[in-house]
Amino acid sequence: MRRVAVTGVGMATALGRDPWEVLALLLQGRSGVVRPTDERALLPIPGVAEAEVDVRPLLKRRKDKKLLPRAAELAIVAAADALGDDRPEDIGILLGVGREPTDGGASERAILSSLDGDGVFSPALFGAVGLPLYPPLASLRTLPNLILAHVAIQLDLTGEGGTRAGAEAAGLAAVVEGWHAVAEGRAEVVLAGGADSFVDPALARDRVRQGFSGQAPGEAAGFVRLEPLDRARARGAEVLAVLDGGGTRFAPEERWRSEWEGQLGACGAAAGVVDWILDLAGVSSSGRAWSAEDTGALAYVTWSRARV
């Protein structure tokens, strides 16, 4: 088993992209949660926490932007920051994602166009009228692994690839998988992390109606770059930490909430990784980062600097 180093971090949050700056702002009490000025202002929420990112400089074709779900925009920016300039062949990417992206209301429009004069759904109308209203790529937008696919395409990541579906534990679970892949020699360099977004007005409204009114809808992506410690040393890379352990388990009794949710909003599958990256930006010499979901999934990693 090889020792695995963290040699890069990247994040996109409502308080910025530089983990050290974001941590300083958080410790100063700054919040990325702001009152929206659009229709979301009417919602009973503390505010929304939106990340300001411009993904266009990283895209192969500027027109690709229209294909990207919001979480993919965040993920591309954060993954590129974590990756840095050392780009060997077959870099892997393991990503934790949350709720499936929506099809942007395409299916709803198709359904509503297929009601007969009495307001009853007509399968025949659905086939004849609803179908042409459904954009060809709409169904693909809803696939969770499309976020990873977009990152892989834009950054040319052809190695180990996999998407973990879940909620708050999914991002760290992807990190655990990345750690195993590098430690066991199945991959040399892996980007691992999570991405999620709830700030779209329709999603924010839905969350309130579904009972999440106490939370500020947020969004974030967080990635770490993992590689063998020996490789990192050989290329003179800065080693931020060494992974000492990690795992996942079914723990329905556990409850977890992001330490920074009040200032960064609810960030779903990215939350656990973002919290950990902020730990790495701090002064602790070691730690255990973990996150869990109400569904019972739990993921954790243990790390240290002392053994570097």
Partner 1 sequence: MRRVAVVSRGVYTPVGRGFDATWAGLLAGRGAVQRISRFDPTGYPVQIAAQVDLEGDGPALYDALMDAVLAEAMAGIRLDRVAPQRVGVFLGNEAVRPPMAELVRRAAQRELPTVEELARYAPHWQTLRVAQAVGALGATATHATACASSGMGLGEAFLAVRRGEVDVALAGGVDVLVHPLMVMGFARLGALSTRNEDPGRASRPFDLDRDGFVLGEGAALVVLAAEEVAAQVGTVLGWISGYGCSSNAWRITDSPPDGRGAAEAMEAALRDAGRGPGEVVYVNAHGTSTRQNDMSEARGIRRALGAHADRALVSSTKSMTAHMVAAGGAIEALVALEALRQGIAPPTINLDRVDPDCALAHVPWVPAPIPQGVAISNAFGFGGSNASIVVEAP
Binders of partner 1 among residues 181 to 200 (CB under 8 A) are 184, 186
- Beta carbon nearer to partner 1, 106 or 229: 106
Phi, psi of 55 (to 5 degrees): -80, -15
Write each residue from 139 to 178 as x if it is in contact with partner 1 (CB under 8 A), else as -, in one continuous string: xx-xxxxx-xxx-xx-xxxxxxxxxxxxx-----x---x-
Q: Which letter does DSSP use for residue 304 in this model?
A: E
Closer to partner 1 by Cβ: residue 24 or 212: 212
User: Which residues in 206-245 contact partner 1 (CB under 8 A)?
Assistant: 206, 209-211
Query: Shortest distance, CB of residue 108 to partner 1, whole angstroms?
Result: 5
Question: DSSP 3-state assignment of 12?
Answer: strand
CA-nearest of 71, 77, 74, 75 to 57 is 77
Q: Name the one residue in this structure whose structure tokens are 């973002």.
A: 274
Give me 220's structure tokens: 């974030």
Task: For the CB of residue 172, give the shortest distance to partner 1 in the complex, in Å.
Answer: 12
Ranges within 239-258 binding partner 1 (CB under 8 A) = 247-252
Question: Which residues is 299 bridged to in the sheet?
Answer: 248, 291
Q: Which of 257, 209, 94 shows the shortest CA–CA distance to 162?
A: 94
Residue 129 is given by DSSP the state: I
Binders of partner 1 in range 85-114 (CB under 8 A): 90, 92-93, 97, 99-100, 107-108, 110-112
Kindly tell me which residue out of 27, 41, 42, 137 binds partner 1, with binding defined by CB under 8 A. Answer: 137
Kindly state the number of chain residues that form the binding site for partner 1, as judged by CB under 8 A: 72
**263 by DSSP, 3-state: which?**
helix
3-class state of residue 63 by DSSP: helix
Q: In the bound complex, what is the minimum distance in angstroms from residue 284's beta carbon to partner 1?
A: 26
Quick count: other Cβ atoms within 10 Å of Cβ 50?
20
Mutual orientation of helices 145-155 and 70-83 as an angle, nearest 10°? 40
Binding to partner 1 in span 1-30, by CB under 8 A: none
Residue number with CB closer to partner 1 (29 or 211): 211
Contacts with partner 1 in 53-72 (CB under 8 A)? 67
CB of 177 vs partner 1, minimal distance in Å: 7
Q: Which stretch binds partner 1 (CB under 8 A): 46-54, 213-221, 288-296, 300-308?
A: 288-296
Q: For partner 1, give the closer residue by CB, 27 or 131.
A: 131
Confirm or reject binding of residue 41 to partner 1 (CB under 8 A). Answer: no
**CA pair distance 61, 71, nearest whole angstrom:** 18
* CA atoms 286, 190, 169, 270: torsion sign: positive
Provide, rounded to whole angstroms, the least separation between the CB of residue 128 and partner 1: 5
Judge contact between 304 and 286, C-beta under 8 A: yes
